[in-house]
Amino acid sequence: MDTDLLKNFLVLVETKNFTKASEKLSCSQSALSLQIKRLEELIGKPLFIRDKRNVQLTHDGEELIAYSHQLITIENNLLAHFHESPIEGEVLFGTPEDLATTYLPTILTNFARNYPEISLNVRCEFSVNLIKEFDLKNYDVILIKQDTIQPHKGSQELWKESLAWVSSKNATPFFSKSSPLPLILAPSPCVYRQRAIDSLNQAGIAWKIVYQSPSLSGTLALVKSGLGISILPINMITKDLETISFLPPLKDTQIALLKQDPPSKAAEALASYITENIAH
């Protein structure tokens, strides 16, 4: 498999237009068309539905996206291992605890194996505090939650998180419609905490914080016990929790990466590794 075919395929997926894709790749439309045709012959399936202007992915084309990213990442790691001089140095990396425990364990472990000469120092903290320390240059790279409307200058969006109100599926929370909503939230400053409070205040719903937990595991344990309700990203909701539909909707949160400008080679290696692998 020629990975250049996969790289060009991903550019066409991004632009959805042969003209734009060929301009981005600095090649002719006919050359790009031949490459896509060759890839389709190798796969044995049509990858795009074409019209005069744009292209649309087939089901097989959609499935190929993840495989393409994986193969390109393997190629990059292989070349980095055999062709490049070992990158050395220390990287101070900061991220909120829930992101560290949910998305990053495998990524950071594999990074340490691929870059054994880099000393990785990971600290967990609320996003607001991480941004303050990053601006003081006390972090090399940070992965944060932030508002989609006012993103930090220089931040790179990795994905958006949809949030939902959650309660225990197995225990009835200790509240009624006539009483303030019992909330279990992280201490201030916390992006999710502010999302919850702003949403309820705008809807005119009375609330009270019955417990504050700085850790995700502590919050989950208390919600599951039925002490109160909280908010979570939809993809973090476990089987023993259920969403609450009658409460006001919550705005999405952006997950973004920041690195110092200019970054050290070690910091750039970490930032690139997280960006390339987080989607998987």
Q: What is the pLDDT of residue 8?
A: 93
pLDDT score of 53: 74
The rounded mean pLDDT for the chain is 90
Confidence of residue 208 (pLDDT cuts 50, 70, 90): very high
Summarize pLDDT for 25-43 with one digit per residue, the tens.
888 989 999 999 999 999 9
Contact between 187 and 214 under an 8 Å Cβ cutoff? The reply is yes
145-160 per-position pLDDT tens digit = 998 888 898 899 999 8
Fold of 163-250: D-Maltodextrin-Binding Protein; domain 2 (3.40.190)
pLDDT at site 174: 58
Share above pLDDT 70 across residues of the chain, in percent, rounded to a whole number = 96
pTM more than 0.75: no
Q: Where in the chain is the domain with CATH 1.10.10.10?
A: 3-83
The second-level CATH assignment, the architecture, of 89-161+254-277 is: 3-Layer(aba) Sandwich (3.40)
What are the residue ranges of CATH 3.40.190.10 in the chain?
Answer: 89-161+254-277, 163-250
For a pLDDT cut of 90, what percent of the chain falls above it? 61
CATH number, span 3-83: 1.10.10.10
What is the secondary structure of 12-80 as a DSSP string? HHHH--HHHHHHHHTS-HHHHHHHHHHHHHHHTS--EEE-SS-EEE-HHHHHHHHHHHHHHHHHHHHHH
